[in-house]
Amino acid sequence: MLVLLVVISLALLTDYFGESPSSPLHSIQRGIATVLAPVQSGASTVLSPFRNAVNYVGSTFSAQSQLGSLRSKYDALVKAYAKVQYEGIQFRKAAALIHLDQTYGINNYGPVAATLIGADPTLWYRTITVNRGADSGVHYLDPVVGPAGLVGDVTRVNPTTSIVSLVTSPNFAVGATIENEAGASGVIQPMVGDPSTLVLNYLPSSSNVSNNQLVVTSGFKDPNDPTIESYAPGGIPIGTVSSTNPQASLLENQSVRVTPLADLQHLSVMQILTRPGRG
C-alpha cells in the first residue's frame, strides 16, 4: 500500500509539473486551495491564543533562566565588592600603622603585626585576643599599638595567641605626658563608670592644660638606675585632653579627662612591641 501511494504521488507530481497552468490538475489544486483557505484562516485564528500561550510560557522559562543567571552574577559582584571594600579598609589601617612607625620611631621596638581574633562583646572595654604569642616573640606586658595610637598591653601569653588588656580596662595604667610647654606627667587610667574615657591623674597644678592637647606615654626611666624603666616606650600617642578642671590652680594635683585616639570598637590590625624597655 505504501509503495502504491508513493507511485501514485510521483505520477501526480510528474503530471502536475509537466502540464500547463490550465491543466485539470492545476484547476483541481486551485479549487481545493480556494475551498480550504477560509478553513485555514479560521483555524489560524482559533489556534492563535494557544500559540501565543505556548510562546509566553517559553519566554517565561527563558526569562527565569536569564534572571537566575543575572542573580548569580549579581551575588558574585556583591561578594567581590565587599572583599575589595574590606581589603581597602585593612590597607588604610596598615598604612596608618606604617605612618605611626615612621613618626614615633616604633620600628626600634621590634613591632610584630597582629590581627584581632576574639573579643567578648560584654567586656569590649576590657580585653581582646590577637593571633600572636610567645612563638612570635611576644612577652608579658608588651605594649600594643593600633593605627591611631596605644591600644593596651599584653596580659597573657600563649604560644600562638595573646590576651591584650585595653587602655580602657580597669586594671590598665601607664605613665603619660601632655605635649605642651610644661610637659607635665602623670598616670593615665580608665575613668570609673565611663570606660570609654581615660583620666590623667597626679598632674601639677601648674601644668597649663587645655583641651585637645595630645597625651603620649612618658617612657619613665629612673635616672639613678637605667635598668628601671617603664615597659611602654615614650612618645606613643594615647589620646587628647577632652576636659580640664577649672579649679586646678587651687589643688596640689589635678586630673584631666582624655579621649583615646585608638578606635577600640573597630580594631582589626595592630602591632605588639616586643622589644620595649625591660627593666
Lowest mean pLDDT among 77-91, 138-152, 157-171, 202-216: 77-91
Is the confidence at residue 96, as pLDDT, over 70? no
For the stretch 245-248, contacts whose Cβ atoms lie closer than 8 Å and that sit 24 or more positions apart, written own/partner, are 248/203, 248/205, 248/207, 248/209
pLDDT for the residue 246: 56
Which three cell numbers, joined as nine digits, stand for 13?
507530481
* Nearest residue to 149 (alpha-carbon basis) of 262, 6, 68, 58: 262
For residue 5, is it within any domain? no
pLDDT for the residue 19: 65
Q: What phi and psi values does residue 156 have, to the nearest 5 degrees?
A: -155, 135
Segment 171-195 mean pLDDT: 86
199 - beta bridge partners? 189, 257
CATH code at position 142: 2.40.10.340
Q: Are 116 and 231 in contact (CB under 8 A)?
A: no
Q: Are 227 and 279 in contact (CB under 8 A)?
A: yes
Provide the whole-model pTM. Answer: 0.62
Segment 215-230 mean pLDDT: 76
User: CA 169, CA 260: separation in Å to the nearest integer?
Assistant: 12
Neighbour count for residue 254 (Cβ, 10 Å)? 22
In this structure, what DSSP letter does residue 61 have? H
Confidence band, pLDDT 50/70/90 cuts, at residue 99: low
For residue 156, is it within any domain? yes
For residue 65, is it within any domain? no
For residue 124, is it within any domain? yes
What's the number of domains the chain is made of?
1
pLDDT for the residue 131: 94
Higher pLDDT, 250 or 86: 86
Query: 173 lies in which domain range?
Result: 105-279
Q: Are 109 and 274 in contact (CB under 8 A)?
A: yes
Taking only the tens place, the pLDDT of each residue in 40-55 is: 666 667 667 767 776 7
Neighbour count for residue 17 (Cβ, 10 Å)? 8
* Residue-by-residue DSSP string for 206-222: T----TT-EEEE---B-
For residue 51, the SS3 value is helix
For residue 153, is it within any domain? yes
For residue 230, is it within any domain? yes
Q: Are 130 and 268 in contact (CB under 8 A)?
A: no
User: CA 215, CA 195: separation in Å to the nearest integer?
Assistant: 17
Q: Are 238 and 143 in contact (CB under 8 A)?
A: no
The alpha carbon of 9 is separated from its chain's Cα centroid by a whole number of angstroms, namely: 78
For residue 70, is it within any domain? no
Segment 134-159 mean pLDDT: 92
Count how many Cα atoms sit within 13 Å of the Cα of residue 167 in the half-sphere of its side chain.
33
Segment 25-39 mean pLDDT: 64
| Averaged confidence pLDDT in the chain | 79
Count how many Cα atoms sit within 13 Å of the Cα of residue 36 in the half-sphere of its side chain.
7
For residue 11, is it within any domain? no
